[in-house]
Amino acid sequence: MKDAPPPRASRRKASTHTIHDVAALAGVSSITVSRYFNNPEKVSVAVRERLREIVERIGYVPSQVAGGLASGRGRVVCAVMQNIASATFADLVKGMTDELQASGLQLLLANAQYSQTLEENAIRTFVGWHPRALILTRDDHTPAAEAMLSALDIPVVEAWGFVDDRPFHQVGFPHAETGAQLAHHFLEQGATRVRFVLPHIGEDFRAAQRAQGYAATMTAAGLAADVQVADVEDDFEAGARTMTALAAAPRADRPQAIIFANDNMAAGAILHADDCGLVLPCDCALAGFGDAPISVRLKPALTTLRPARYQIGQMAARTVLRMLAAPQDPTPAPGRALLPCELIVRESSRLTPG
């Protein structure tokens, strides 16, 4: 038989109320307070009202940390983005938070800057938070990341892209196809020389996918694929330089149309064309990607593709919610949500016959 251990110094932080404080004030046990928050209907109306008043008065808020530990299911969803400084990021995040908030789920964000390694690090960090679900924004991960994902045993959504044969939910659109779409748009108008301009030393692998779709379409049509990579970081400047170079080239060598990997490059081109003595779209037809707010205001207005950014974020979150609400389905078939990426035809892409 052991002696009673000596009392130890307590580490209670006096500054915060606990469920026990509320229980004591109400003259009930703490589990009743727990139920008041999680299953109010299982608490009598009288007690409920008393608790409501006390909680209100002392400003008690249940600890997500303790609750998450005890229940084994925290209220956290994690998302790894690729470019936290882009408009795409903002719209996706808004879509996700708007949708998750109502369910009391907290979104944790990380930035991978288009890097597989940074994505792996982010996932590793997130694992420590025991999230209920994970939202990723690419479909090619490091082997280590793939291993963690399958070991996690939680819903995983790959948003923004849309590919086949993945073990995870897909919410987005096929990027290569959008490149093909723009190529077709020009081929249908009779173009034979169409160029694709990628941003500087490509971090953005989606842009590269669009370029591939373009190239495949050109090749299939028996035409030459002409993919160029910008030599400056700034997208506007890159577009402007493309125009300068175009004006300097002999007319016969010029492409009849240029597809820019994003609207910023195209805008830079349009705003600089006049300085180069080029008249758009006569001297060269243009298209972009992303439907930036400014694009419709440019002269000529920019033809572009409009991805459903907000809706993709929203749908990714909905997919998560659906999976969490569903009964314990062991390995459900991954959901596939194909969201629109609409071709917006404006003046800039009108090809001059001949």
Partner DNA sequence: TTGTATGCGTTATCAG
Partner DNA sequence: CTGATAACGCATACAA
Sort 222 into a burial class: Cβ within 10 Å, 0-12 / 13-18 / 19+: exposed
Helices within 135-224 (DSSP H only): 143-152, 175-187, 205-220
114 near its own copies (CB under 8 A)? no
| Closer residue to its own copies in complex, CB, 111/142 | 111
Assess whether the previous peptide bond of 300 is cis (omega < 30° from 0): yes
Partner touching 18 among DNA, its own copies, none, CB below 5 to 8 Å by kind: DNA
| Closer residue to DNA in complex, CB, 40/190 | 40
Out of 179, 199, 268, 288, which residue is the one contacting its own copies (CB under 8 A)? 268
| Closer residue to DNA in complex, CB, 26/112 | 26
Q: Which residues of 50-80 are buried (b: 16+ CB within 10 A; e: fewer)?
A: bbeebbeeeebebeeeebbeeeeebebbbbb
How many beta carbons lie within 10 A of that of residue 213, not counting itself? Answer: 21
22/136 Cα distance (integer angstroms): 40
- Binders of its own copies among residues 45 to 64 (CB under 8 A) are 59, 61-64
92/56 Cα distance (integer angstroms): 35
How many residues of this chain interact with its own copies, rule: CB under 8 A?
Answer: 57
Q: How far is the CB of 169 from its own copies (least distance, A)?
A: 20
Pick left, alpha or beta for residue 277 (phi over 0 → left; psi -120 to 50 → alpha; otherwise beta).
left
> How far are the Cα atoms of 95, 158, 170 from residue 335, in angstroms, in the given order?
18, 10, 6
| Closer residue to its own copies in complex, CB, 67/335 | 67
- Binders of DNA among residues 50 to 109 (CB under 7 A) are 62-63, 66-67, 69-73
List beta partners, residue 338: 172
| Closer residue to its own copies in complex, CB, 15/39 | 15
Strand 341-344 relative to strand 304-307: parallel, antiparallel, unpaired?
Answer: antiparallel
x-or-dash string of contact with DNA, 12-51, rule CB under 7 A: xx--x-xxx-------xxxxx-xx-xx--xxxx-xx----
x-or-dash string of contact with its own copies, 225-254, rule CB under 8 A: ---------xxx---x--------------
| Closer residue to its own copies in complex, CB, 292/339 | 292
How many residues of this chain interact with DNA, rule: CB under 7 A?
Answer: 36
Contact positions toward its own copies, by CB under 8 A? 11, 13, 15-16, 59, 61-66, 68-69, 72, 74, 84-87, 89-91, 93-94, 97, 106-111, 124-125, 127-130, 147-148, 151, 153, 234-236, 240, 264, 267-268, 271-272, 274, 293-294, 296-299
